[in-house]
C-alpha cells in the first residue's frame, strides 16, 4: 500500500490513508497507527476501514457532507 497522507491524533497515534492493490482489486485503507513504546516506529491496528477504490467518489461526497453538519 502506498501512503497518501496522515493525521496526528495524539502524541502516540495517527490516522493513515493508504492506497494499493489487494487480491487483484484497488483498495483504499484508512487506519489508526500507534507508536511503539520508547521507539519512533508506528504499527497499524485493527481499527480502520478498507474499501474498494471504485467507491472513492461516493466516499468523498459523504465526507464533504460533514462540512454542512452543525455541531451543538
Task: State pTM to two decimals.
Answer: 0.85
Query: What mean pLDDT is predicted for residues 12-41?
Result: 95
**What confidence tier does 72 reach under pLDDT thresholds 50, 70, 90?**
low
Average pLDDT for the chain:
93
Residue 39 domain boundaries? 2-68
pLDDT at 66 over 80: yes
Looking up residue 21, the CATH number of its domain turns out to be: 2.30.31.10
Domain count along the chain: 1
Which residues are CB-contacts of 4 (< 8 A; sequence separation ≥ 6)? 17, 18, 19
Asked whether 2 and 29 are in contact (CB, 8 A), the reply is no
pLDDT at 8 over 80: yes
Amino acid at each position: 500500500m502506498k501512503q497518501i497522507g496522515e493525521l496526528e491524533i495524539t502524541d502516540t497515534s495517527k490516522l493513515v490513508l493508504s492506497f494499493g492493490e489487494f487480491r487483484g482489486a484497488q483498495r483504499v485503507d484508512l487506519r489508526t497507527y500507534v507508536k511503539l513504546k520508547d521507539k519512533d516506529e508506528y504499527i497499524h491496528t485493527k481499527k480502520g476501514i478498507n474499501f474498494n477504490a471504485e467507491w472513492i467518489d461516493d466516499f468523498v461526497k459523504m465526507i464533504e457532507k460533514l462540512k454542512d453538519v452543525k455541531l451543538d
